[in-house]
Structures are given as C-alpha cells and as structure tokens.
Structure 1
Amino acid sequence: MSHMKGGGGTVLDAVVRLLRDTGMTTVFGNPGSTELRMFRDWPEDFTYVLGLQESTAVAMAAGHALGTRRAAFVSLHSAGGVGHALGAVFNAYRDRVPLVIVAGQQARSLLQLRPFLGADEPALFPRPYVKFSRQPERAADIPAVLAEAHRIAMTHPRGPVFVSVPEDDWDQPADPVPPRTVHAAFTADPDALTALAARLNSCARPALVVGPGVDDEQALPEALALAERIRAAVWISPLSGRSGFPESHPHFQGFLPPVAGQLAARLAPYDVVVALGAPLFTYHVADDSPPLHEGTELFHLDCDPAQAAWLPTGTSLVTTIKPALTHLLALRKEPDRDPPPPRPAPEPAPPSPHITPELFFDLLRTRLPRDRVLVEEAPSHRDALHARVPVDMPGGFLTTGSGALGWGLPLAVGRALADRRRVVCVLGDGSALYSVQALWTAARHGAPVTYVVLDNGGYAAVQALGRRIGIAPVPGTDIGGVDFTALAQSFGCQASYAERPEDLPAALARVLSADDDSGPHLLHLRVAATEGALYDPWAR
C-alpha cells in the first residue's frame, strides 16, 4: 500500500486513508471477483471478518457498529451479493444502524454490454432501505463520495449508506479526502419544549414511551432523570430493537404490544404520553382500533422528520433526544403527584416434565451477569423473555426491531467482536437456521458469544398468528430433526444439548460462565411447544 504525502496516489490509497481516519479498519464482507483490486496490498492494521453469506456480513457489521457506536464498513459482491444482503440492510435501515456498504461492480468498459455479474442501475437496487446510494460517475470521485456517505450514515437518524464501485476504479488516480467532523445534534424550537414542560407540570398521570432512539443517542440518564422528576410511568415501544430504560426500576411498566387496541388500552390511564425516539404505532396485527383512547394526549420527540410526518395523531417535536431532555429537565418543577405503582412480578414457571421457555428464562434471570449484552431472536418467546429477564444496562438488549429473521445470530458475533466481552444470544430454532453459518465466523475469530437455541420444532410464532385469525394448521411451519449441537461443532463451536429440566441449571451455568477468551459456546435446548398467544402481556 503506497503512502501519500499531500496528494497523488490511487482511489485505493485514498479510501484506505479514509477508513483509518473514520475508524473503519474492521471490514465485514464476502469477497468476489469484482472486489479483488480493493484487496491489493491489504493493510496489516485492517481486519477482514468473513461472512459465509452476505446477509450475515451485514448483520455482523451492525453488531460491531452498535458496540463501537461508530459506522462499520461492509464489502458486498456485485448485484448478487447485494441481493443476498437486502434483508439485513432492511433491518439496519429500520433500526438506524450506521453502515457504509460498498459493492463491487463490473469494469466500466463492460457496463454497456450487460456483463456477467454486472449490476443494472446499482444505485436503485438497495433503495428505499438506505439513506444514500450512488455509483460515482468518475473513479476520482469515489473517495469523496465515500466520505460523504459516511457522514450521512452517522447523521441522525443514522442508517446504512451504499456506494457501488466498478472494479477497475481502484487503481485509478485520486486525491485523498481530508478528515471532517459533523456535529449532528439539534434541538426543537425552545418555545415548543417550554410548552411541553408546562403540559407536564399540569397533567395528572404522565407516561413516557422509550424507543430505540434513547439508546442510540445514549440519552438513558436524561430519560431516567425525567421519569423520576415527573414521576411518570415508563413503557418501552412496541418491538423495540434496543433497550432504553432500566427494567428493574419501579417506574417501569413493561413493553407495549404491536396491536392497536391493546396498545391504546395500555396507555389509556395516562392523560399525557411523551414518546422518546419511538415510532410508537408499530403494529404487527390489524384490528382497526384507534391509535389512542380519547383523553390521552401524545407528544412525540424524534430526530426523523419523515417519522413525525406519518404519525396519525399527536404533536411531534423534531429533535435529537439528549439535548431536548436536557432542556426539559431545566424547566421542570417537582410535581405534586404519586409515582406509578410498580408492575407485579411474574409467577414462577410451573413444574413441567419438559424444559419450558418460562423455566429457562427464570434461570437466565438469576444467572445472567448484569454486565452482559443480551441479543434475542426468538419471536415465539419474546414476551416471556421480557417478562422474566429484566435488562438494566444501557445497550444491554439488542434484537431486530424490523422483523427480517437471521439478524440475531450474526449480530451477536459483531457485537462481541466490538469489545471482546461475552454476549448471550437467545434464538429460536427457526431463526437460527437463517444465518447459522455465522457460527463459523464466531469460531474463526474466537468471538465470546454464548448461544442458547430454544428448539420447539417449528415456526411457532407463525403458528400462533395463524391460530389468532383461524388458520390452523399452517403449512410449512414444522421443523424437525436438526441437530444444532453437531451443526455448531462442525463449524468449530463448543456445543451441548439438554432436554430434561433437571439438566438445565448445570448446562446453563456452564455456558454462561465461559471465559471471554474461550470463544463461542452453543447450548441446544429442546423446549415444549406452547399454545401461548403472541402479544398477550403477562401483567395486564
């Protein structure tokens, strides 16, 4: 790799310098022929993390970005690789994860001939699930376009960006791009915040709904201070992809359901609701109910003007969360009202001859170290997990807030590689099979991840939704005969199996206590299939 002094060099030289300047020296990808020139004289201070399928590369990069709180760099292979990755790109976009995605493209001299592996209209392919998408007109523009893309990825609302690079551009001359800083925090109109503070002073029963934006902006201390100052009940937004409030706190009430009528009923006791960094009305099941009951007044604070525009009700303040909360805290007075009653604790899991998800989560609650990040992709059991395993650490819970499966397993790899601290990842058997090849990457890089696969023999979440609307049985929802222990071992992971309740405590203690330098461990649990209805919260 040549070293530049004040100018000159190639596109590759300038891009390598840019990646160093922005801290993106860990590259996630799956290489192909149209990326080969990017790897010429690969820098010794760079790490290439290979995903055996492009969607796992994107999800691993997302986990790394969430752990480092910086954009991560992803290299994809032409049109086919981008196509494979789009489910994960969709998750990253909806979950506001900053990724800089570069895809190889065939040589410029061949593009008019529709070449093998060439991408037609590459900038359109990943839209609308990227914030920015370009194939530069000139090779010399690539470093500047990538620098712009990085700044856009890191500007609120954060998200993935995409640049297509023809393979013969890397060796063309280009000037380096000087580093720049963009400060992207902004605050709503002070008069609007003052009016909101006055309404919080005068209301009788306030509630906060905490969304993923609170964690994204590291605004949990301010959200916690506001909740305590105004003595508000606190809920987490439906299907949130991140934690944003300590769940053991006495003001915490639970997770809102993604069904209009149920959500409105949970919020009906409150006269003022303030949603923080949350879309709030994230529904999964249609029931034609109004979004809120009459008498519930909504204020919505978020950095995304598009989200503010589509909300069906309420007053939106377009703002980043942290400075807005700081402003509100400066204006607030101590209220003359009682704090909300704490939510009741769930009943212990009843005895069973089989391992049940509830039994597993009860044990996980008592054995999970409080400084562990918990990653979840077990849709059938997510309500039970939230009810029984409180997460208190900022950034301590990660999942898909968007629903494209195959995210959790590789997300945990990237998150573990970000700081080399053990991550615990709870998966359903169906979810795990979307991206199981990421276990190879976990083993290859010694990623400290403990995986627990809850194997109920099928896509139980789909079956439950089918029962809800009178469709049973649902074809194509049974899975059986997958030996996850042998599968994990074939990828190089340590693995074990349990199916009897009496074996579970020792098996779980063994995988949770693994050293951070002992690499990935997988525990395969055969769990009893349940008839539980989705979105039927335990406490209400």
Structure 2
Amino acid sequence: MNTTVRQVVVELCRATGMTTVFGNPGSTELRMLRDWPDDFRYVLGLQESTAVAMAAGHALGTGRAALVSLHSAGGVGHALGAVFNASRDRVPLVVVAGQQSRALLPLHPFLGADEPTQFPRPYVKFSRQPERAADVPAAFAEAHRVAMTHPRGPVFLSVPEDDWDRETEPVAPRTVHGGYGAAPDALAQLAAALDESERPALVVGPAVDDERAVREVAELAERTRAAVWISPLSGRSGFDERHPYFQGFLPPVADQLAARLAPYDLVVALGAPLFTYHVHVAGPPLAAGTELYHLDCDPGQAAWLPVGTSIVTTLRPAVRALAGLVRMSDRPVPPVRAVAPPARRGPDISPELLMDLLGERLPRDTVLVEEAPSHRDALHARLPVRAEGGFLTTGSGALGWGLPLAVGRALAGGGRVVCVLGDGSALYSVQALWTAARHRAPVTYLLLDNGGYGAVRALGHRIGVAPVPGTDIAGIDFAALAASFGCPGGAVERPEELPAALDRVLSLGPDEGPTLLRIRVPADDSPLYEPWAR
C-alpha cells in the first residue's frame, strides 16, 4: 500500500504526543485535514493568534510540543503576535501553515505566501518549506526535535496543499535527549565565589520553572542563605513566594533594578534575562561592587548581556551540582519580606481587595494565568504563588495571550485554572471564550474592568504624556459578551458583593466548564511600576 505524506505525518504526531491540534482552517489546509483520525482532537480558535496561544497553554501544561495549523500568508500574519510571545517564553510549538499548490507558486497566486520561511522570523527557531513533497515528513520530524531542544521555542513549516496526497517513505521516530551541562571548572569558580560572598542573591528567571528546577534552586538558596528575587516581568514564577528568603520582583527600570540589587556583592541570575527594561533610564545596569554570574541554556542570551560572567548550561543539573559544591553557609539569613497591609475598604472594589480575597481562597496548586498589566504589582504583592508551574503570563508584553493561554492550559488537565485579566487585554482575544465553552474548559475568568487601557495611561503619566488619547474603552457588557459565546457570565460592582461572588465562581469543579466574572474597578492613573513598598 502506498504511503502518503499525510499518513506519515499523522504517525509522527502520534509518536510525539501531538494528537491535540489547535488551528483555524482555510482552503490551503483542507487536504491536510482529509480522513481526520478518530484519536485526534481539533481545537478550533476563531482567530489564528488565539489558536497559537491556546496551543502554548497546552504545551506548558503537558510539557510536550503542541501542534498548530495556520492558514497561509494572512493567517500566519494574524498569529505572529502570539508567536512572538511563544518565542520569548520558550514555548515549544510546531506551527504548520498551508501554502498554495506548487504548480501555482511561480504565478504569485491568491492566498499564496511569498517567501514563507522569512515571514515568522526571527521569532521561530526553525523555518522551512521543503523542496519536495517527499521531504515534508522528515522536515516535520526535524522541526519537532528543534522545538523541544533547549532553549525550547516555536518552529515553522510551510506545506503546499498538494503535498499531503503525495507518496513518501515512512520516517522513523527518533529521540534526542536534550540538556547539556556546565564546564566543571566554571561551576567550581561560581561555588567559590558564593562561599566567599558576604551578601549573595539569586535572581530566578522563567527558565527555572520551564526546566523544572524549582526544588534545586530552593536548596541552593537555603545552603547559601541567599536572598531570592524574581526577574523583571517574568512569564513564570520559579520560586515559592512564601519562602522566607523570597524578597520580591525586580522592576523593569534600570535605576530601580540596580538599586534593588545594590546591597548584594554577588548576584547569580538563573535562567533570567536580567536586564529586561520597559522604559529607558540612563545609568549602569548594576551598582559598583555587585558581581554577576548568569546561568542559562541560551548562548544568544549569554552573548548580549552587558556585564557579568555567563555559564551556558541547562539549569537543573547545573544548580544541583552547584548546591553540592558550595559550603553550608552560616551567614545571616535574608530579611523577611514585608507583607502588604490589608486593603482598605472603600465604596469601590480595589484591585488590592480582590487580590487579598483571592489570596485567602485559592488552593496552593491552582494554576494562575495573568494578563492584567495595570494590576500586576497588586497581584504580586498580595497573591503569592507557591506551586511549580503555578503562574503563567506573557514575558514579552504582546496582549491577547492570557485568555486563550488559560483555555489551552485547562485542556491539558490538572484541575481548574484561574485567569485574572484586564478589560483591554480580554478584547484582543475574547473569541477564545467560544472555544472554552465548546470544549468545557475548566477556567474561571476574573475580568477587572477599569474602562480602558490603564497600563498605557499610567505609563503616559510616568513620562509626562497625559491625557493619552485612545485609552478609553468603557461601555462594554462583558458578562453578556461572554454569555453570547456560550460562557456563563456575571458581574459584581460593590465590595460587599465580592466575597460571595468569588466563592461561587471559584467553587466550580473541573467538569463544569468556563465562567467569567466581570469586576468593576476604578480607573487609576498612578505611575506604572511604583510598587506598594519601595
């Protein structure tokens, strides 16, 4: 029996665990979808960027690459903001886009993609349109291996529509054991520096959570009695935020970040793009007298850091080895982080009150997805994350990620997901509520409605641009909008109504599907990145 490209790719998907496919089909994908396997699930996103974000949530939940099917040219263009997020957050995705028939390509056809491999760059690790139909399965298998090799990330494959029915040879699945260790002398040098340090600190980046090195980092912190910070605008947590050594979150502003780290003579950044800034402020990246070591699996990131000594390595084996090399320290333990005072009660629901109430109600193992830029400081100050993999957000800032990311993460299993998002963020990808309802994804959405793009207004205030035009989006009935997509919606306006409303939506079980609670909060024009405690 002759074997087609489609049949071989289907078997590769089974072998790699990619039997849940996220996509938005178009004419150039129809032949790929012929004879759809009974053991595969197609998760429809009503816009391509939501399909990519849902796939990313699924990949983060399963630890495996997720498969995304996009339409040629325009569909890939729609998805690129989400591909950008997946790249910066190191999410392994295999993105397969349709392309017009090979015979039509010289004629620049309708819906054809010109130079398709260039379109998603530089935000994919691999980008290819195979020269022959027979080469598609081998390219597919290579793309998957590249996506899953550290530093993990999205890859792209363009497949002309007539390739799927062509004959080809089977491709045997292969295993590539990822990960590589640091040079022993480099770790020994760092261990000696930690032993000699008087005031060390660790900066935990998103790669700690991605590489499942949370326990190893905690052991290293306890052996060295190092203070622990989380890197600026991290897309993950990576450390138990109720641990007594935890100090907080570094700000994405150069002078503030340098000031936070100035008390330490040695800083060890673990999987962290440490110098992630949002606004420009002149000044050195670190104060004089602060030495930096940086461990990460990405040689590109190691190359662009402006200061410090970088060790290119995967984190889990390196941190485990480092903890075995350092002496058990008797230096004073770090000071205990100040606790935010209880939110003041007023006539309106403040974000601080909401975070306090959530902190009292969320079980430790709840997966929390966040995309509420105006209220992220309040969330970090009052809603500590404790579980490995328990916090997901965008580490790059392209909005529209959180709402569909939560759908994909919920479909990956593991219990109910809680997603805290702003009204502005939600409107980038609100159609993902339809997918959540259709698949009964166990997600509780808490939508903070301040009537506009509060983060943009706050940043404008900070740099002297006020008022900022185009930042008001009041007048949307989010509960009704959610209900129109099949997702039950409710609303709460008064502080005294909030506890009961939260109890209701947080008590839903994993089989009860999605729900959305719109929470009215006042507009706030205070400057961004001014946490409650300096």
How would you bin the TM-score normalised by the shorter chain?
A: over 0.9
Residue number in structure 2 paired with 1:290: 284
> 1:461 maps to what in 2?
455
**Partner Cα distance (2:342, 2:527) in 1:** 19
Q: Is the 8 A contact 2:461 2:525 kept in 1?
A: no
Moved >3 Å (runs of 4+) = none
Check conservation: 1:18, 1:147, Cα contact below 8 A.
Answer: yes
Match of 1:323 in 2: 317
How much does 1:42 deviate?
0.4
2:482 is aligned with 1:479: no
**In 2, Cα distance between the equivalents of 1:26 and 1:276?**
32
Residue of 293, 297, 301 corresponding to 2:295: 301
Alignment match, 1:157: 151
User: How far did 1:531 drift?
Assistant: 3.2
- Determine the structure 1 residue equivalent to 2:227: 233
1:11 corresponds to: 5
User: Which of 482, 506, 510 pairs up with 1:512?
Assistant: 506
Distance, in Å, in 2 between the alignment partners of 1:533 and 1:66 is: 33
Per the TM alignment, residue 336 of structure 1 is displaced from its structure 2 partner at its CA by 2.4
Look up the match of 1:114. 108
Q: Does structure 2 retain, via aligned residues, the 8 Å contact 1:343–1:539?
A: no
Alignment counterpart, residue 68 of structure 2, candidates 65, 74, 79: 74
1:41 aligns with 2:35: yes
Matched, 1:245 2:239: yes
C-alpha distance in structure 2 between counterparts of 1:538 and 1:256, whole Å: 13
Within 2, Cα distance between the matches of 1:511 and 1:274?
A: 41
Letter in 1 for 2:410: A
**Aligned equivalents of 1:369 and 1:427: distance in 2?**
19
| Alignment length (residue pairs) | 534
Instruction: Report what 2:482 is aligned to.
Output: 488
Q: Does the 8 Å contact 2:416/2:442 carry over to 1?
A: yes
Work out the CA distance in 2 between the residues paired with 1:479 and 1:190.
Answer: 56
Q: Give the Cα separation in 2 of the matches to 1:533 and 1:425.
A: 24
Alignment of 1:263-412 (within 5 A): 263-412=257-406
CA distance in 1, matches of 2:368, 2:266: 32
Deviation string, structure 1 residues 337-396 (Cα, Å, up to 9, x no partner): 011011010011112101110111110100111111000000000011000000000000
Q: Gaps spanning 5+ residues in structure 1: where?
A: none
Superposition RMSD on alpha carbons, in Å?
A: 0.7
SS in 2 for 1:170: helix
Who is 2:202 aligned against? 208
- Matched-pair identity in %: 75
The TM-score normalised by the length of structure 2 is 0.99
* Equivalence map 1:175-190=2 (5 Å): 175-190=169-184
Deviations along 1:256-303, one digit per CA (max 9) or x if unpaired, are: 000000000000000000000001000001001210000100000000
1:14 touches 1:143 (CA, 8 Å); kept in 2? yes
Partners of 1:516 and 1:534 in 2: CA distance: 36
Instruction: Kindly provide the amino acid, as one letter, of the partner of residue 334 in structure 2.
Output: P
What is the distance in 1 between the residues matched to 2:17 and 2:141?
12
- What does the per-residue CA deviation read over 1:21-75, in whole Å, with 9 as the maximum and x for residues that have no partner? 0000000000000000011110000000000000000000000000000000000
Give, in angstroms, the shift of residue 528 of structure 1: 1.1
SS in 2 for 1:266: helix
What is the aligned partner in structure 2 of residue 254 from structure 1? 248
Structure 2 Cα separation of the partners of residues 350 and 527 of structure 1: 14
- Per-residue deviation, 1:420: 5.1
Q: Distance in 1 between matches of 2:385 and 2:19?
A: 31
Among 43, 48, 53, which residue is 2:47 paired with?
Answer: 53
Task: Please list the CA deviations of residues 454-510 of structure 1 after superposition, one character each: whole Å capped at 9, or x if unmatched.
Answer: 000000100011011111100000011100000000000111100100100000110
Contact 1:28 1:50 in 2 (8 A): yes
The aligned amino acid for 1:526 is R
- Would you say the 8 A contact 2:269–2:295 is kept in 1? yes
Amino acid at match of 1:501: P
The aligned residue for residue 187 of structure 2 is 193
Bigger Cα displacement from structure 2, 521-530 vs 436-445? 521-530
What SS class does the counterpart of residue 123 from structure 2 fall into? coil
Q: Displacement, 1:537?
A: 2.3
Tell me if the contact between 1:380 and 1:461 (Cα under 8 Å) persists in the aligned partners.
Answer: yes
Asked if the contact 1:144–1:177 (Cα under 8 Å) also holds between the matched residues in 2, the reply is: yes
Paired residue secondary structure (2:216): helix
Partner of 1:15: helix, strand, or coil? helix
Q: Determine helix, strand or coil for the equivalent of 1:42.
A: coil
Report which stretch shifted further, 292-301 or 175-184. 175-184
8 Å contact kept, 1:420–1:448: no
Question: What secondary structure, in the 3-state scheme, does the structure 1 residue paired with 2:456 have?
Answer: helix
What is the distance in 1 between the residues matched to 2:197 and 2:365? 37
> In the alignment, what sits opposite 1:502?
496
8 Å contact from structure 2 (residues 461, 526) kept in 1 = no
User: 1:142-179 CA distances to partner (integer Å, 9 max, x unpaired)?
Assistant: 00001000000000000000000000000000111111
Matched letter for residue 472 of structure 1: A
Worse-superposed segment, 92-101 or 181-190: 181-190
Q: In structure 2, what is the equivalent of residue 433 of structure 1?
A: 427
Distance 2:336 2:283 in 1: 28
Distance, in Å, in 1 between the alignment partners of 2:242 and 2:63 is 25
8 Å CA contact 2:84–2:123 kept in 1: the answer is yes
Counterpart of 1:223 in structure 2 is 217
Tell me if 1:25 matches 2:19. Answer: yes
Alpha-carbon distance in 2 for matches of 1:538, 1:280: 22
Shift in Å at residue 82 of structure 1?
0.1
1:173-198 Cα offsets, whole Å, 9 max, x none, are: 01111111111111111001001000
Deviation at 1:532, TM superposition (A): 3.0
Structure 1 residue 140 corresponds to structure 2 residue 156: no
Shift of 1:334: 1.1
